[in-house]
Amino acid sequence: MNMGAAQQPQPTLRHDLMTRLAQPRPYDMAIVGGGATGLGVALDAAARGLSVVLVESHDFAKGTSSRATKLVHGGVRYLAQGNIALVREALHERSTLLHNAPHLAQPLPFIMPSYKCWETPFYGAGLVLYDALAGRAGLGKTEFLNRAQTLQALPTARADGLKGGVKYWDGQFNDARLALALARTAAARGALLVNYCRAADLLYECGKVAGLVCEDVETRQSFKVRSRCVINATGVWVDELRQKDGEASQRPTRPMVAPSQGVHMVVEREFLPGRVGLMVPKTADGRVLFAVPWLGKVILGTTDTPRQDLAREPQPFREEVEFILNESARYLRRAPGRADVKSVWVGLRPLVKPQDEDGDNTKGLSREHTVLVSRSGLVTVTGGKWTTYRAMAEDVLQKCFEKNLISRLSTGVTANLLLVGAENFKSPGHSICEPPGLHGYGSEQSAVLALPGAGTELTSGLTEAMIRFAARHEYARTVEDVLARRSRLLFLDARLAGSLAARAGEILLQETGIDPQVEAFSALARDYLHLPE
């Protein structure tokens, strides 16, 4: 095991964060939203030397950014759509991410099994092109497998009718922990990041956005934060702030996001043992479906269902659950049933509607994210994917410069910037496919081991010391923060997570002195077990 050199993790004491937030100083950049997008912008701006503040209304990665399929990918399906530039960029970002956070993001081979003679050559040709586009950023060569080789690699794949398969490479990652690593790396460069702090309103000077009014969700205390530019990185919720901006500047805004939900279900590893993902390029209704070994379990998903509301905890529809189980049954020898599901979770995709009447528009570029600057100077960024968060951040900074919101600063500063836990950490020695544990902390393992309770396990892979570390160094405030996003237990096994809530709450209470919200978490854990009839 490579633990790297001992790290000195910075404290994330709530009192200190709020004291800093209360200081009447102007910032270069204020960011609203602590998901992949906002945190990526915060890190880029801080790494360029700007003064940065970021506020998140809930916990970091509470939104879409903890609910991904966990793929660091170029987007095979965008290839089918002919979006070569997008794929090339994502492939480049894929290798950057794997390099900068090897404890949280790693290569993973996938096999696309074929049950029709034409599938292997047809999809295989696309995957060879995928390889070629990756160039030096490639993770491994695409291989054509015969039936026996396919079954050897995927022993639980349905054997009858199997013709062969194609093996290709992508990456996988721990999304919520990557978000925390971004936050903590930005903080180490001077940025102030505060979770449980909602941007309630915008401040204006001479008709231009000049800061934020934010509210500490725990105390209801209000703060005015002055800033040269304000970035709206609130994912599917971007239209709320845009609406406020439109009202303040008396210019009506049209919604730019059309949310679409994706459901994932988690089952035991026996459904897909080994360190290989299974990819179905075209399900019965034309979507891509994955079975991904992750942290000792298997993730099945996902769906793409439009929905109008913007619930914080969206519920799956019965049809989506049936769809995933039925499609899995077509490719796995033993079909997972409802009783096999350990956790079900739903994320909302911020699909972007074309805009033309409200500031600039990057929709014409072959990118799937959009950066808009309103006439009053509010910068909104949404869309894209986790894999490309770094490139998105660079685009946001570039747009701010073009609009004279910041001065020109050197670019590309995050391309080789190792994230917290990656310093002096050469070889993970442990796959993200395998159950969670200390290895996920990279070079911070010794700092976790130094805390009380390092030898006391609540369950395999989760120690008392990890909960203390979460409270002291990872901004955790509630049991949900710990069991959903520092440890990923809620996403892996909701029943087990629910059963540990009280004990986790006791430890957290010792650390923070505030109500760790055990009851609320227990109810949430029940929701993550509930499949609609």
Ligand X SMILES: Cc1cc2nc3c(=O)[nH]c(=O)nc-3n(C[C@H](O)[C@H](O)[C@H](O)COP(=O)(O)OP(=O)(O)OC[C@H]3O[C@@H](n4cnc5c(N)ncnc54)[C@H](O)[C@@H]3O)c2cc1C
Give contact residues for ligand X (rule: CB under 6 A). Answer: 32-38, 55-58, 62-65, 67-71, 73, 198-199, 233-235, 237, 262, 302, 347-350, 382, 384-387
Distance from C-alpha of 387 to C-alpha of 405, rounded to nearest angstrom? 27
Exposure string of 347-364, with b = 16+ CB inside 10 Å and e = fewer, is: bbbbbbeebeebbebbbe
Distance from C-alpha of 511 to C-alpha of 453, rounded to nearest angstrom? 13
Report the residue number, 75 or 428, with the smaller CB distance to ligand X: 75
Closest separation in Å from C-beta 418 to ligand X: 20
- CB atoms under 10 Å from CB of 495, counted, come to 12
Cα end-to-end distance, the chain, whole Å: 46
Closest separation in Å from C-beta 102 to ligand X: 17
Report the residue number, 36 or 86, with the smaller CB distance to ligand X: 36
Q: Which two tokens stand for residue 194?
A: 């505060």
Closest separation in Å from C-beta 122 to ligand X: 24
Could you give the dihedral angle defined by the CA atoms of residues 164, 134, 185 and 352, in that order, rounded to the nearest 10 degrees?
Answer: -80
Q: Which two tokens stand for residue 531?
A: 């499949």
Q: Please give the distance of CA 30 from its chain centroid, rounded to a whole number.
A: 21
Closest separation in Å from C-beta 59 to ligand X: 7
Closest separation in Å from C-beta 135 to ligand X: 20
Report the residue number, 56 or 464, with the smaller CB distance to ligand X: 56
Close Cβ partners of 118 (under 8 Å, ≥ 6 residues apart): none
Report the residue number, 65 or 445, with the smaller CB distance to ligand X: 65
Closest separation in Å from C-beta 234 to ligand X: 4
Report the residue number, 257 or 458, with the smaller CB distance to ligand X: 257
Report the residue number, 142 or 232, with the smaller CB distance to ligand X: 232
Closest separation in Å from C-beta 303 to ligand X: 8
Q: Are strands 343-352 and 164-173 parallel, antiparallel or unpaired?
A: unpaired
Q: Which two tokens stand for residue 125?
A: 């040709």
Distance from C-alpha of 289 to C-alpha of 286, rounded to nearest angstrom? 10
Report the residue number, 350 or 498, with the smaller CB distance to ligand X: 350
Contact 432, 294 (CB under 8 A): yes
Report the residue number, 162 or 210, with the smaller CB distance to ligand X: 210
DSSP run (H or E) holding 81: none
Closest separation in Å from C-beta 123 to ligand X: 19
Angle at Cα 349 formed by Cα 412 and Cα 176, nearest 5°? 60
Report the residue number, 105 or 448, with the smaller CB distance to ligand X: 105
Q: What is the 3-state secondary structure (H, E, C) of 300-369?
A: EECCCEECCCCCCCCCCCHHHHHHHHHHHHHHECCCCCHHHCCEEEEEEEEEECCCCCCCCCCCCCCCCE
For tokens 């796959």, name the residue.
Answer: 431
Closest separation in Å from C-beta 170 to ligand X: 9
